[in-house]
Amino acid sequence: MARTKVQKQQIVSALRDKFSKAKIVLFTSFARENEPGLGVNQIQKLKQDLYDNQAEYSVARKRIIDVAMRATDYKDLTLVNDLTGSVGLVFGYGDVIATSKATYLFSKKNEPLKLLGAILDGELLDAERLIALAQLPGREDLLAKLVGLLSSPMSGLVGVLQGNIRNLVSVLDQIREQKA
């Protein structure tokens, strides 16, 4: 179905807004020529996974994405037309690592989805760097490790203090047995 000029302008405007609000934008390929792409159920699952991580998935023609990017701060990063396959965009509005991780894990289970790159803090990341970002531990994991590291010296101190009290009780018990 051919879109009218007004419809295309609306899509460009919506994409421009998403680009400006997103902390990270991931570029994916969900279908390639002569290969089966993602099915409707798979795309719905991806959208739900992303929604749970404060992100959303959008699909548009490469030319429209390129026009939308040219109207944002990313105008120097217009490499969309060089990407292969059908291009889908993941706009992450929350935790950057959680968004990357959710998309990466989905791509591992659903082979047609390929990570092509991302824009993070105005910098273009290639697929390799994006995957490295996605494999970092998440915020919750890092906080749990920090709590463990902070509590470790305290639990060691408690163990040492309990050992001294235990030894004192043992010595007092031996003295009591000798006098009895």
5-136 fold: Alpha-Beta Plaits (3.30.70)
- Mean per-residue pLDDT of the chain: 84
Between residues 14 and 32, the one the model is more confident about: 14
Angle at 34 between CA 28 and CA 40, to 5 degrees: 55
- Tens-digit pLDDT profile for residues 97-142: 999 999 999 999 988 888 988 988 888 888 899 999 888 887 777 7
Sign of CA dihedral 101, 106, 109, 86: negative
Residues 143 and 98: their CA atoms lie apart, in Å, by 14
**Among candidates 24, 35, 40, 50, which has minimal Cα distance to 105?**
50
